[in-house]
Chain A
Amino acid sequence: MPQNEFRLDPWIPIEVAGIDLSINKAVLYLVLAALATCGTMVYIARRMQDKPNRVQTAVEMAYDLASNTITRDNMDSRMANRWFPFIGTLFLFIWFSNMIGYIPLPTNSEHPVAVLGIEIPSFALYAATANFSVPLALTLVVWLSYHYEGIRAKGFVRYFKGWVPSGVSGPVVALVAPIEVISQFLRLASLSARLFANMLAGHLLILIMAGGLAVLLGSTIVGIVTLPVGFAFYVFEVGLVASLQAFIFALLSAIYLGEAVAEEH
């Protein structure tokens, strides 16, 4: 049923101290994304050529984007050298994670299909980033590390004093300070929800348009009408949203990191 598209069935149940650590669909997608990120980059780096082919050119463009546009434009060079590996990895990992989410993989264990006598799961779309835990974990790492960098660069008291914009003094500080504290915590919600909700909404739209609505209403003609719309959404998501969200996540992480150590903002 279309309602179960995002349900995570435990494939290999593991439970440690009451915490569910089962291997499920999302874990598979995370592992695939991590392998694709490491594999592509190591492979390209090993066989760098003076005359780059198309794949090498594309990877070099992505590297240049992550290195210059995302990292170096938003922080000084000492910080950039320290944090570029993290932000570059973040960008590539989220990009691969989003893109793998649009490749149909045999992961739908609810409806197995018999091929040559062997039952294999039917093909389905799913993305690790369309599960709230994954963007939230990435966001927590970014959030904790920019506070850590800020406190290390400015000292504990000066860093938190720096949250209040310069030029604000007297009783207005009591008014502005709570807003600034709330906005710091809202970054946790906004950074993670932006990535998660974009991917979830994209997958929901494709699911509903490419058959979900027809199944729910039980009408064939609806399916014929909505299938091209589903295809259009698929192209839009693959062509724009997947890359854009990876770019935005990495860019905002870099901006937060740069802002935490910058004097006077």
Chain B
Amino acid sequence: MDLLGVITVIAQGGAEGQKALALGLGTAIAAIGPGIGVGYIFGKVIESVTRQPEMRGEIQSIMWLGFALTEAIVFYGLLMSLVAFFIA
């Protein structure tokens, strides 16, 4: 079965299939942005630490804050997808 066929089957599969699709696609799309963001943060930290190794401690504490704030965005997507799955 080709991809279009699969999508057609899921779309015709009634409310359950569409909810599952909403959960999967919602979380997957929400993960793209934070994925790029987290990679960017760690890349920049490596760059900064190689330039100024003496600033390592300070940079790392900022890094964890930035990492947690960025990573949380994927969970907002997951939460909304779970709302779509269980409540909508």
Interface residues contributed by chain B, number (CB under 8 Å): 12
User: A184 to chain B: which residues have CB within 8 Å?
Assistant: none
Does B68 belong to the interface (CB within 8 Å)? yes
* Residues of A in contact, count (CB < 8 Å): 12
| B interface, over-half SS | helix
The yes or no answer to B65 lying at the interface (CB within 8 A) is yes
- Which A83-122 residues sit within 8 Å CB-CB of chain B? none
In contact, B79 and A193 (Cβ under 8 angstroms): yes
A244 to B72, CA, bound (A): 12
CB-based contact A197/B64 at 8 Å: no
Q: Does A248 lie within 8 Å of B65, measured CB to CB?
A: yes
At the interface, yes or no: A201 with Cβ under 8 Å from chain B? yes
Contacts of B79 in A (CB 8 A): 193, 197
A-B contact count (CB 8 A): 31
Decide yes or no whether A161 CB sits under 8 A from chain B.
Answer: no
Q: Do residues B76 and A193 form an inter-chain contact, with CB atoms below 8 A? A: yes
Complex contact A197–B75 (CB within 8 A): yes
- Complex partner residue of B75 from A69, A194, A247, CB under 8 angstroms: A194
> Which residues of chain B are near A248, meaning CB under 8 Å?
64-65, 68-69
Query: B54-80 interface mask toward A, CB cutoff 8 Å, 1 = contact, 0 = none?
Result: 000000010011011101100110110
Q: Report chain B residues within 8 Å CB of A201.
A: 75, 78
The answer, yes or no, to whether A210 is at the interface (CB within 8 Å) is: no
CA–CA, A247 and B72, complex, Å: 14
* Binary flags per residue of B77-88, CB closer than 8 Å to A gives 1, else 0: 011000000000
Complex contacts, A198 vs chain B, CB 8 Å: 71-72, 75
Out of B61, B68, B78, name the residue touching A245 (CB < 8 Å): B68
- B30 to A: closest C-beta gap in Å: 11
Q: Any chain B CB within 8 A of the CB of A142?
A: no
Nearest CB in chain B to that of A69: its residue:
B61
Contacts of A245 on B, CB cut-off 8 Å?
Answer: 68
Interface membership of chain A positions 205-241, coded 1 if the CB is closer than 8 angstroms to chain B and 0 otherwise: 0000000000000000000000000000000000000
Interface positions of B (Cβ within 8 A of A): 61, 64-65, 67-69, 71-72, 75-76, 78-79
Which A positions have Cβ atoms within 8 angstroms of B?
Answer: 69, 190, 193-194, 197-198, 201, 244-245, 247-248, 251
Report, nearest first, the 10 A-B pairs whose CB atoms are least far apart.
Answer: A197-B75, A194-B72, A248-B68, A197-B79, A244-B68, A193-B79, A201-B75, A197-B78, A198-B75, A201-B78
- Apart from the given pairs A197-B78, A248-B68, 4 other A-B contacts in the complex at a CB distance below 8 Å: A193-B76, A194-B68, A201-B75, A247-B64
Query: Can you identify 22 A-B contacts, CB atoms within 8 angstroms?
Result: A69-B61, A190-B76, A193-B75, A193-B76, A194-B68, A194-B75, A197-B72, A197-B75, A197-B76, A197-B79, A198-B75, A201-B75, A201-B78, A244-B64, A244-B67, A244-B68, A245-B68, A247-B64, A248-B64, A248-B65, A248-B68, A248-B69
